[in-house]
Copies of this chain bind each other. A is one copy, B any other.
């Protein structure tokens, strides 16, 4: 019998009615002959509410205790989903992360998965039961609960799929991966499939379909992941590692992100080790820096520009100004009125013509490019925030993403 590990997100289990709906989906899947493991998130806003409650109790809640508190959200969902399954006459059992065999390190709130020891899980499957696993949580060596950070339930599902050699299906409130954000581009098209790497680039902050960490884990273990809606029965998008013959050397989608600010340090003395000096204090403060570019300005001086989340500017700028003074730079300033737009597709950086067509499209639309950065499968421009939507629409049209791909037409 085929084994599938499904994941149902917080909005899919928000309240008794939705939990019953999910139970119905699992019942049909089990009736069709599949063995089912389902990983669940906490109901709706439960996690946010628990975090708020903790902060009413103390300003800086200890991570270990936050994990004890937050893990109860997923535990509750798992028990309620099993009750709903019993209500439909389906044999099922809930397992906590610890019971299901999720072993993690002791970095509370952001633990790494060390191993999956699914003896009990296999045992329960062997008895013909559907197994509902509380996502996001594991057990440390000192027998404490630890949570595995953002996107924890997605990552839990992929990890169990890898450990059980099962298929993986992520059910969420979107129905797949699109060529661009459908709220921005009216004729954005759902992709039938996409590679892990392309997904990672598309699933930046601008296109939250699935946690990047879960996609990376899928990539490492080569687990195909289906992303689909928990509310509809549409096909969804398959994320996989195979070379996509038809899709290769094509732009697959347009990603964008409005949560971007730009910090520029002007007239930095250009000597070895200077970049390390600049970025060490930000790393110490656990501030995550995105695109970095360095342009020569005058003589032995250079300008360093990087991007950062808008919310982090208030913490980052004082640190950057301190370091600018120490190293003898002229000034450091932030600009929060910027955004990011990217074209994504395997091979597009090395293939000629894509970058040129992107820049021409922006130029034709009268959009000024402030920074350019590229990866193997992505070309990104930092542009004025108020032109990001225009840029996404222009690029979607320029690369003809509204048209079905050859593989889809023939498939």
Name A's B-contacting residues (CB within 8 A). Answer: 16, 19-20, 50, 53-54, 56-62, 64-66, 68-69, 72, 75-76, 78-80, 82-84, 86-87, 93-94, 96, 99, 120, 143-144
Residues of chain B contacted by A83 (CB below 8 angstroms): 54, 57-58, 61-62, 65-66, 69
18 further A-B pairs in the complex, CB-CB below 8 A; given A61-B83, A72-B75:
A16-B56, A53-B80, A54-B83, A57-B87, A58-B83, A58-B86, A59-B87, A61-B86, A62-B82, A65-B80, A65-B83, A68-B82, A69-B75, A69-B76, A69-B79, A69-B83, A72-B72, A72-B76
| A186 CB, min distance to chain B CBs, angstroms | 39
Identify which of B56, B62, B80 contacts A57 (C-beta below 8 A). Answer: B80
Residues of chain B contacted by A61 (CB below 8 angstroms): 83, 86
Let me know if A57 and B99 touch, CB within 8 A.
no
What is the bound-complex CA distance between A20 and B58, given in angstroms? 9
What is the bound-complex CA distance between A66 and B86, given in angstroms? 12
Let me know if B53 and A65 touch, CB within 8 A.
no
Let me know if A82 and B65 touch, CB within 8 A.
yes
Instruction: Give the most central of A19, A64, A80, A87: most B CB within 10 Å.
Output: A80
| A127 CB, min distance to chain B CBs, angstroms | 12
Residues of chain B contacted by A79 (CB below 8 angstroms): 54, 65-66, 68-69
Identify which of B16, B20, B54, B80 contacts A69 (C-beta below 8 A). Answer: B80
Let me know if A76 and B50 touch, CB within 8 A.
yes
Residues of chain B contacted by A19 (CB below 8 angstroms): 57
21 pairs, A vs B, C-beta closer than 8 Å? A16-B53, A16-B56, A16-B57, A53-B80, A54-B79, A57-B83, A58-B83, A58-B86, A60-B87, A61-B83, A61-B86, A62-B83, A64-B93, A65-B79, A65-B82, A66-B83, A68-B79, A68-B96, A72-B75, A99-B143, A99-B144
Residues of chain B contacted by A56 (CB below 8 angstroms): 16
What is the bound-complex CA distance between A80 and B69, given in angstroms? 7
Copies of this chain held together in the complex: 2
Residues of chain B contacted by A50 (CB below 8 angstroms): 76
| A78 CB, min distance to chain B CBs, angstroms | 7
Identify which of B60, B72, B75, B80 contacts A54 (C-beta below 8 A). Answer: B80
| A373 CB, min distance to chain B CBs, angstroms | 41
Residues of chain B contacted by A144 (CB below 8 angstroms): 99
**What 8 pairs across the A-B complex have the smallest Cβ distances?**
A58-B87, A16-B56, A72-B72, A68-B79, A69-B79, A65-B79, A61-B83, A58-B83
Residue of B nearest to A74 (CB): B72
Residues of chain B contacted by A57 (CB below 8 angstroms): 16, 19-20, 80, 83-84, 87
What is the bound-complex CA distance between A65 and B87, given in angstroms? 12
| A399 CB, min distance to chain B CBs, angstroms | 47
What is the bound-complex CA distance between A213 and B55, given in angstroms? 36
Residues of chain B contacted by A84 (CB below 8 angstroms): 57-58
Residues of chain B contacted by A93 (CB below 8 angstroms): 64
Residues of chain B contacted by A16 (CB below 8 angstroms): 53, 56-57
